[in-house]
Amino acid sequence: EMGPEERQFQERINDEIKIEPKNWMPDAYRKTLIRQISQHAHSEIVGMLPEGNWLTRAPTLKRKLQLMAKIQDEAGHGLYLYSAMETLGADRDEEIDKLHDGRAKYSSIFNYPTLNWADMGTVGWLVDGAAIVNQVPLQRTSYGPYARAMIRVCKEESFHQRQGYQILLTMMQEGTDDQKAMVQDSINRFWWPALMMFGPSDENSPNSAQSMAWKIKRHSNDELRQRFLDQTVPQLELLGCTAPDPDLKYNEETGHYEFGEIDWQEFFDVVKGNGPCNRERIEARRSAIDNGAWVREAAVAHAAKRQRKAA
């Protein structure tokens, strides 16, 4: 049974009117959004680490500048999302603590290592590509501050996706045999983890039904995974590369690509904290916070000193 407030809330949602921070909302709606937005923010922040690994080894100055700009965008997205999360009454430090002690999740994809330069292309192409397919519909999510944040984030991620694809195209069109092999090796490692970014299949997605009713999610996990695959396979073919999936094929009747079974055991292992780099990632975040403590203390001391001077 819905009370009058909840009925009004659901009517707003049905009418496509955004929910704003000061509107009444059910506790569970608030909680779900804090969960999703904080995990999204954590993903952006942790997502800087696999790329940061290659900043000092970029092949040219231009590539280094592009990569640096992309990583800075990700920091911006993270901070922007934490701000959106704070409009729901959540505390940023508390949510970050949850990331650091393993209570909060972040995207499984960032627990895989980046082993060669082609990975910087593949991360842009596949990881940002998947992120965009997931986030374009979130521009219409029912919570206003999250929806508006997604507009800028999607624009920047489109640029990331293109610069990544361009790295791979250059390697495939102008590269040596070794460089071409590097691209294929990178695709082999990131293909399946990129498909896993969309989350569990619909029948194993406990949050989907309620999130769809509240229009937090606009499409199901499997729907978006299919959309990503359909747009990505032609790009894969243009590169002249293959997917590590013997079952991948185009279905003339449906107009969609069919793909093999995702290794869900691997997905849940990584989500539970047992992927190849989970410990390393969290340790890097923790030590960044610890090593930066003196900067924060100095900034606070400096601000206090200036305030005393002004007074």
Contact positions vs ligand FAQ (CB under 6 A): 35-36, 39-40, 43-44, 47, 74, 105, 107-108, 123, 127-128, 131, 134, 196-200, 205-208, 211, 217, 221, 271
- Minimum CB–partner distance for residue 69 and ligand FAQ (Å): 13
- Minimum CB–partner distance for residue 105 and ligand FAQ (Å): 4
Degrees to nearest 5, angle at CA 12 with 9 and 16? 140
Distance CA 63, CA 163 (A): 9
Q: Which residue is nearest to ligand FAQ (CB)?
A: 47
**Residue with structure tokens 């975040």?**
285
Closest to ligand FAQ by CB, 149 vs 172, is 149
- Minimum CB–partner distance for residue 177 and ligand FAQ (Å): 28
- Minimum CB–partner distance for residue 66 and ligand FAQ (Å): 13
Distances 79 to 43, 73, 91, 122 between C-alpha atoms, Å: 11, 10, 13, 25
Closest to ligand FAQ by CB, 181 vs 212, is 212
- Minimum CB–partner distance for residue 21 and ligand FAQ (Å): 19
For residue 11, the number of C-alpha atoms closer than 13 Å in the C-beta half-sphere is: 7
Closest to ligand FAQ by CB, 18 vs 159, is 159
> What does the block give as tokens for 246?
């013997």
Under a CB-based contact definition with an 8 Å cutoff, are residues 287 and 220 in contact?
no
- Minimum CB–partner distance for residue 52 and ligand FAQ (Å): 10
Degrees to nearest 5, angle at CA 77 with 160 and 47? 65
The angle, 0 to 180 degrees and rounded to 10, between the axes of the packed helices 144-174 and 221-239 is 20
- Minimum CB–partner distance for residue 198 and ligand FAQ (Å): 6
